[in-house]
Amino acid sequence: MARLLVLSYIQAAALLQARAAGQETAVVSPDLGLSTVPVTLDAAGARFPTGEEVTWADLARIQESTRKCFLVEGNQVTEIAIFSETTGWLRSLMPTAGAPTMLVSGISMHRFKGIDPHEDTLRKVKTIAPLMGRVLDTATGLGYTAIEAAKTATEVVTIELDPAGLEVARYNPWSQALFENPRIRQIVGDAYDEVAALPDASFSRIIHDPPAFSLAGDLYSGAFYGELFRVLARGGRLFHYIGDLESKSGHRVTAGVIRRLQEAGFKGVLRRPEAFGVVASK
């Protein structure tokens, strides 16, 4: 897959500062912090080694947009934001100090205050480490969980409700392994229905990281937990992301989640506040 040039206010600010200092070159990231390249600065704008030139006017516009990421193709600079015909949600890519997050109707799909989305993912995965055998990821999002799990699992099956979400992920430099790693198998569909079609006891680990309860209440239901229990192998483990367990709403949702997981048959249900979720076993 050809590498894309994606910029945020962080890279734009660095280039504008270099121009203000009278520099003719600068070193910046073309992929939201994954790598750096030398960039030539001239009267028109900043020229990247792959041939794209971003005008100073476009860089000023990018710098002002602290919650947006921008795709650069030729001389076109486009905000990475897609309205979903499937869900009616607007999905966009938002930069952070590390890996970007996805906004769904303005709600972040990752923690980013005091932590970046990559570290957020590592904390979730660590709760049920080691990830081995076949792993089920019930909500693909930007694919960070699937990518991390595929480093040690034999196969990762990841489910995404919204094709628009995958389209945003394709524009995200941090998500490229989602489309390149042969150990990751993608399913596009509603996890509530797709999990019901999976074989019994076919996964050793499950990472259930659904959207907020207000957006996907059925993925917090006892019926869905029963299906997760069914497809988890004996001795397998589940991580369920909820949100801040200590917040007023998180405390209420967590109590219901624990009760319904236990009713579905899960044992050893434990709170893991550092990962904003709970773990359970079969």
Among 55, 78, 101, where does a domain finish? Answer: 78
Asked if 100 and 174 count as a contact pair (C-beta separation under 8 A), the reply is yes
- pLDDT (tens digit, 9 = 90+) per residue, 185-205? 999 999 999 999 999 999 999
Among 56, 78, 100, where does a domain finish? Answer: 78
Query: Where does the pLDDT of residue 114 fall: very low under 50, low under 70, confident under 90, or very high at 90 and above?
Result: confident
At 217 the pLDDT is 85
Q: Are residues 73 and 137 in the same domain?
A: no
- pLDDT (tens digit, 9 = 90+) per residue, 82-109? 999 988 989 999 999 999 999 988 888 8
Query: Where does the pLDDT of residue 251 fall: very low under 50, low under 70, confident under 90, or very high at 90 and above?
Result: confident
Is there a domain that residue 99 lies in?
no
Mean pLDDT of the region 21-29: 97
Among 78, 102, 131, where does a domain finish? Answer: 78
Q: How does DSSP classify residue 31?
A: B
At 1 the pLDDT is 54
Q: Residue 278: which residues within 8 A CB-CB, separation 6 or more?
A: 239, 240, 242, 245, 254, 257, 258, 261, 269, 270, 271, 272
- pLDDT (tens digit, 9 = 90+) per residue, 135-157? 999 999 999 999 999 999 999 99
Q: Are residues 57 and 135 in the same domain?
A: no
Q: Are residues 145 and 198 in the same domain?
A: yes
At 31 the pLDDT is 97
Q: What's the structural domain count of the chain?
A: 2
Residue 200 belongs to domain with CATH number: 3.40.50.150
Residue 169, SS3?
helix
Q: Are residues 130 and 234 in the same domain?
A: yes
Is there a domain that residue 129 lies in?
yes
Residue 210, SS3?
coil
Residue 256, SS3?
helix
Please state the pTM of the whole predicted model. Answer: 0.93
Is there a domain that residue 83 lies in?
no
Closest CA to 152 of 175, 131, 134, 135: 131
At 216 the pLDDT is 80
**Domain that residue 63 falls in:** 5-78
CA distance 250 to 23: 50
Residue 148, SS3?
helix
Asked if 46 and 40 count as a contact pair (C-beta separation under 8 A), the reply is yes
